[in-house]
Chains A and B, each alone.
Chain A
Amino acid sequence: MAEPFSNEPIDVEHLPELHADAFVRVDPRYVWGNLTGLAATTVVVVGVAAVIVVTSGNAVAPSVVAGGLVVGLAVVAVVLVLESRRLAYQLREHDVSLRSGVIRHRVETIPFSRIQHVSVGRGLIEQWLGLATLEVSSAGPDISVPGLSVADADRIKQVVAERAGVADEPGDGPDLGLDRATTDEPDDARRLPPPPWPAP
């Protein structure tokens, strides 16, 4: 028997808020993984420039190009460090959120009920650093949470899979404090604020 559907007016004052301070930042080792890849790229760029200088005898043009690329890579490194610090996730009773972006801040939330698939992947550098990436897929967008410790990634994957109903064998799952995420929150005013300009 299907549950009868109702759609009564609700008091938006009591809607749970996505608290900014409840985001969990990814493992600090994640930034080292990114910087390692960038350092390898820098070494290749400088090496290629050195080979060109030695073989051609023209030192100016390759040096200028390589120098420009190295400066660009340095800027990318700064952005990567800042982005790693901003990268964070938040699990609540009914959804998972990812905070990302340095220049363009972004908070993306996928309700558990819309998750189609969840998986954990580990690249070479991640294996070296003991990290993993959690991939959460929906019929629309996907969320990728890199920089998780392997244990955290597996635990979160298990919890998300169970709550999304996509796990093969649902278990009890570890206590990640999800039940406290919204029930203990204060009932802050969650009303659509009036627009600061006159109504049409």
Chain B
Amino acid sequence: MIDLSEPRRQSPLAIVLLGLRAVRSLGVVQIGVALLFIVRGAADGRLVLVGFVVIAGFTGVSVLSWWRYTFRLVDGELLVTKGVLRNDRLTVGVGRIQSIAIEQELLHRLTGLVKVVIDTAGSAQSEFTIDAVERPVAEELLRRATEIGAARPTMGASDTATSEAAAATTERIVFQHTPHRLAVAALTMSPWAGLALLVPLVAVADQVLEPFGEELSDVAPDVDVNGLGWWLAPVVAVSAVVFVTILNLGRVFLSDWQLTLRTDDDTLRRTSGLLSLTSTTSSVDRVQVLTSRQNLLQRRAGLQDVQLSNAGAGDMRLIGCSDDEFATTATLAGLAHAGELALDRRVHPAEIWLRVRNTLVLAAAVAAVASLLVGWWALASLAVAMPVWWAIRRHVRNHRWSLGSEFATSSRVISSSTRQAVLRKTNAVRVTQTIFERRRGLASVQMVTAAGTVTVGMLPIEEANAVRDVILHGVEIDRRAWM
């Protein structure tokens, strides 16, 4: 048993991490430019001296930050003191902790330490972070938080589970993705997220590409780039798609390697990562909204992306889930899976006219401006209304919603998605009417939870009001924990 009642400091490795964080706060672009100055010899001695002073300053601040940062757990409260120039004391009731994530970045993995990210209600950001601590300490903190959180009903909870019962439950693996599954998931999802890996390069693209341009000029001085012709366009497009797909494959392997979902019935824990291991834990009660998305390729592969939106900052994204895995996850989160939902209600077809009209107005404006440049050809931009009409018509035809113990919607154009939340998770209900909707006696309903919104638009106003009243009634009659 590790004693957490005495003030503890982080591992000295935290000094390095705090320093890196401070350096990162200067901005990647600024650091890159400074490095280029130094590498190219453009910096004189005074600038280098300033650099050393800055580094020394960051080091000093990091050491002081590490020294002043202590944490302890006393009487169900996590007490944190920190601050270099001022003394900050932070007290968080463990029962109010929304999620505790244990992560391992590259430096952590090399040293066997972990990072603990703690999130409480009422903040969109993580409440505080313990940058580097021994794994047993982190696991003891997680165990105690889970134990106290389960023992103490929070925010309307009526669960009477005891700490003994919580401790007795054992965690089991719900599913774990194999490398093959991850590869299929990466190849079937939209690859553009892979471009995120290139963002840091964009900042210094000119400096990076300049030497290549000079070499190309030396090797092939006769090549006229402008004369290569339009036929290069598809080659470039295909190459770009292949490139971002490979990048995305790398991104998925880095972030979702051995993606695993575990549960002890009261909590859900997601772990993944190749170089940086991330572990996010959240109680089942704090799951607010369940979203699943499936594009055309994923549908053929029988996979879908699932997201559990939790109160606080502990959202869980589970890529490449099979139908069974989705159903199990939904059940664990206290929700029905898509197959169980009776999505039998539809929205008003007026939505087709609204969206096509808006598209036409926009296209007409674009055509009017473009006609000054390209003449009558600009009218071709109005043709965009046809695919928009097709897509919206398909969307309206396939858009379903239902209201039972859950408020759920689903839509399907090319990609499909479902979004659902239990009525008792409601924090507010909105009924809104635009001018277009008012003229036709229609309205939209939004069920707002602590971690997202489920919206259905284009309903008859009487139906929208009835949905609101049913949701509010559901909140009052269901006294189970909602967060």
Give chain A's interface residues, CB within 8 Å of chain B.
1-3, 5, 7, 10, 12, 15-18, 94-95, 101, 103-111, 113-114, 116, 138-141, 143, 190-193, 195-197, 199-200
Instruction: Offer 14 A-B interface pairs, CB within 8 angstroms, sorted by A.
Output: A103-B435, A105-B433, A106-B431, A107-B430, A108-B428, A109-B468, A110-B427, A111-B472, A111-B476, A113-B475, A139-B121, A140-B448, A193-B463, A195-B463
A95 to B430 Cα, complex, angstroms = 13
A139 to B98 Cα, complex, angstroms = 12
Residues in B with CB closer than 8 Å to A195 are: 345-346, 463
Residues in B with CB closer than 8 Å to A193 are: 460, 462-463, 466
Q: Given A108-B430, A139-B427, A192-B463, do A113 and B156 touch, yes or no (CB 8 Å)?
A: yes
Residues in A with CB closer than 8 Å to B432 are: 101, 104-107
Residues in B with CB closer than 8 Å to A10 are: 473, 477
Q: Given A3-B479, A191-B466, A199-B344, do A139 and B472 touch, yes or no (CB 8 Å)?
A: no
A138 to B448 Cα, complex, angstroms = 10
In the complex, which of the residues A16, A94, A107, A140 contacts B427, with contact meaning CB atoms closer than 8 Å? A140
Q: Chain B: how many interface residues by the 8 Å CB criterion?
A: 49
A192 to B466 Cα, complex, angstroms = 6
Q: Is the CB of B405 within 8 A of A7?
A: yes
In the complex, which of the residues A15, A110, A139 contacts B473, with contact meaning CB atoms closer than 8 Å? A15
Majority SS of interface residues in chain B?
Answer: mixed
Residues in B with CB closer than 8 Å to A116 are: 121-122
Q: Is the CB of A192 within 8 A of B346?
A: no
Mark each residue of chain B from 264 to 305: 1 if its CB lies under 8 Å from any CB of chain A, else 0: 000000000000000000000000000000000000000000
The yes or no answer to B418 lying at the interface (CB within 8 A) is: no
A104 to B172 Cα, complex, angstroms = 49
Q: Is the CB of B470 within 8 A of A12?
A: yes
Q: Is the CB of B427 within 8 A of A18?
A: no
Nearest A residue to B398, CB-CB: A200
Residues in A with CB closer than 8 Å to B430 are: 106-109, 141
Q: Given A7-B477, A140-B449, A141-B427, do A196 and B466 touch, yes or no (CB 8 Å)?
A: no
Nearest A residue to B448, CB-CB: A140
The yes or no answer to B467 lying at the interface (CB within 8 A) is: yes
The yes or no answer to B160 lying at the interface (CB within 8 A) is: yes
A107 to B476 Cα, complex, angstroms = 19
Q: Is the CB of B450 within 8 A of A140?
A: yes
Q: Given A15-B469, A138-B428, A195-B346, do A105 and B438 touch, yes or no (CB 8 Å)?
A: yes
A113 to B478 Cα, complex, angstroms = 11
A5 to chain B, nearest CB (A): 6
The yes or no answer to B349 lying at the interface (CB within 8 A) is: yes
Residues in A with CB closer than 8 Å to B226 are: none
A21 to chain B, nearest CB (A): 14
Residues in A with CB closer than 8 Å to B247 are: none
Residues in A with CB closer than 8 Å to B156 are: 113
A7 to B424 Cα, complex, angstroms = 12
The yes or no answer to B400 lying at the interface (CB within 8 A) is: yes
Q: Is the CB of A197 within 8 A of B478?
A: no
The yes or no answer to B25 lying at the interface (CB within 8 A) is: no
Q: Given A108-B428, A113-B476, A114-B426, do A139 and B483 touch, yes or no (CB 8 Å)?
A: yes
Mark each residue of chain B from 456 to 467: 1 if its CB lies under 8 Å from any CB of chain A, else 0: 000010110111
Q: Is the CB of A94 within 8 A of B476?
A: yes
Q: Is the CB of A114 within 8 A of B462?
A: no
In the complex, which of the residues A7, A16, A106 contacts B478, with contact meaning CB atoms closer than 8 Å? A7
Nearest A residue to B121, CB-CB: A139
A143 to B427 Cα, complex, angstroms = 11
A114 to B479 Cα, complex, angstroms = 11
Q: Is the CB of B460 within 8 A of A18?
A: no
Residues in A with CB closer than 8 Å to B475 are: 111, 113-114
B115 to chain A, nearest CB (A): 26
